[in-house]
Structure 1
Amino acid sequence: MFVQPLATVAVLLGLVSLDRTWRVGDRSTFRWLAVGTARWCATAVLALTPEGTRRQRRLLDQGLGPAFMSECCRSGLLSSDIRWSGLRRASDRDHRLTGEGMHGMGDEEKSALSMFLEAQRVSVLAIIDGLDVTALTTAVLPSGWTPLGLVEHLGYAERHWFQEIMFGSAVPLAWPDDDHAPLTTPRPPSVVLDFYRAQCERSDAVLAATPLSAPVRERHPGSLGDEVTDLRRVVLHMIEETARHAGHLDAARELLDGKTGLGPR
């Protein structure tokens, strides 16, 4: 017997909110708020029975997105208790739909991250392509780094982030890691390039088999360790680092033989 009064109250509240939205001229908000109000009214009626309560929860999870919930909070249509519980439900729903909760969307994000990382890797190799051993081991800037040493450093970075940081261990190196000055190498180009490609392949295998939300096992020293806390951020950092060093190599190549604009981008 309480169905009609409660439904009437729900409709009136919805109409008040719609009227306020229409009068301030926010037509786009009006459209989706109207749809949301209709859903809200329906769930208010369904909530009157135990079975209806279960159906209401299902409808709320499916029908009240974060945009509608946020507008209800902003307009004062929801009380503080309902506001926070509703936002938590919306947040949980969004988490399920973005990333590993929904297989297709998780794969799409991985593909995008992998594509941008690979583009920077390809740029690194394209920029140094055609340089002889002398050029590859020549420092053209006062800091003393060499193009070949920088490529080896990028191999170390791939190994460090995707293996040591993500899983707490890495495939052992075939040489001591302290046998050279920073960003230089005593190894020949063929060894360095094979090393870099092998580390990139291992990184790709980790990315393919691991959820982006997987937490790191080890913490990188310094403030960067506070920022890179899962695989998603590991990939983002490697895009950042590889792109930065590709720019360094761009400048070195121009100073070495005048060539510019190398690479796919």
Structure 2
Amino acid sequence: MGSGTRIRPMPSRRTNGLSDHAEADISIWKEALFGAELLLLHASPVYYGFGIPRGNGSAVVVIPGFLGNDEYLGHLHGWLDRIGYRVYMSGIDLNAECPNLLIRDRLGKTINKAIRETGGKIHLVGHSLGGVIARSVANQRPGDVASVTTIGSPIRGVVAHHAVLSAANAVRTQILRDHGSQVLPECYTARCTCEFISSLKASIPENVMETAIYTQDDGVVDWRYCLSNNEEANFEVPGTHIGLAFNASVYSIVAKRLQLANSK
């Protein structure tokens, strides 16, 4: 299917809330092809701002995925700036921390700065786990958020390649060791009862426009868990999970959806 194609969710497992935490039967080797997407991005007119709607100067906060930092989203950041948005990196040095603490501290400061400097609502764009965090923020601060865009984000449950689950377990152990009583015992699991998890279980507020971009060739997470319950918000693109950060089809959808959110 091509850019912007919508399909009906077809999960084989239960996907209400975040109850699922299982190994996905997917091929992670596909992710080695992400470099091709980066090359294609530089060859695409979209990357240079041709044939896409321009921004209006509103703020966009870009949030990295699991074990990632702001640097790998530099292409997306620079592109959003070129097409007319005021872009803010998340301030997350490494996304391997309790999401509740990230939202409260580093990301929260960035969001407050973006609102203060632009004087309006912000847009949140997150890749992978960054998109899950973005949805949580949108539910916690609906009056401050105009739209939330998730890119390859497992917003329905943690169903991923076993290597990802193993890494997540290691991060959880480190979080508990570093923060102790500052976090709940079930931190970094779907069983946690913190504000981050609680807000994810709620529907996105009606005044916040949501977009969920995914690829069926995802080699990291089960793509069916990246779909919103709002079928009109789901957009399929070709490509890999990592490569979604450098995907011209993704960029085109992001530009159109940001413009639509700004027109409301």
Please tell me the TM-score bracket, short chain as reference: under 0.3
Q: Larger Cα Rg: Structure 1 or Structure 2?
A: 1
* Bigger helix fraction: 1
Larger RCO: Structure 1 or Structure 2 (Cα < 8 Å, ≥ 6 residues apart)? 2
Q: Which has the higher strand share?
A: 2
TM-score (norm 2): 0.22
